[in-house]
């Protein structure tokens, strides 16, 4: 199957931690987008590496779209920062 022809679904996901319940919205492949199913998500850590996190429950399955039409959020953020100057280095004044 052509990777760009794969169907993705926008889903509300939830994961319980010791102190809180974390909720996120993510586009995931249709084969994993089943209500009440538990999945893993790959998360970027502060050191730049990614790791798989267990325990994400699919709460709701919303929009469906081909991969080629799914918005690239990282690209949108990067473009926004470049246009607004938010991507410029931050300098701290010396005392």
pLDDT over threshold 80, residue 48: no
Does residue 37 belong to any structural domain of this protein? Answer: yes
What CA–CA distance (Å, rounded) separates 48 from 52?
13
- Report, as an integer, the average pLDDT of 13-20: 93
What CA–CA distance (Å, rounded) separates 30 from 37?
12
Does residue 92 belong to any structural domain of this protein? Answer: no
What CA–CA distance (Å, rounded) separates 34 from 9?
10
Residue where the block lists tokens 């429950």 = 57
Quote the domain boundaries for residue 52.
3-84
Residue range 76-95, pLDDT digits in tens? 777 777 788 776 666 666 66
Number of domains within the chain: 1
Does residue 95 belong to any structural domain of this protein? Answer: no
Q: pTM of the prediction?
A: 0.65
- Report, as an integer, the average pLDDT of 6-15: 92
Between 55 and 70, the more confident residue is 55
Does residue 89 belong to any structural domain of this protein? Answer: no
């Amino acid at each position: 199957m052509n990777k760009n022809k794969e169907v993705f679904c926008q889903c509300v996901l939830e994961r319980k931690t010791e102190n809180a319940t974390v909720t996120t919205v993510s586009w995931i492949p249709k084969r994993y987008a089943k209500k009440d199913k538990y999945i893993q998500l790959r998360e970027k850590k502060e050191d730049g590496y990614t790791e798989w996190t267990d325990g994400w429950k699919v709460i709701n399955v919303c929009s469906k779209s081909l991969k080629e039409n799914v918005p690239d959020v990282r690209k949108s953020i990067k473009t926004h920062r470049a246009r607004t100057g938010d991507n410029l280095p931050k300098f701290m004044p010396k005392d």
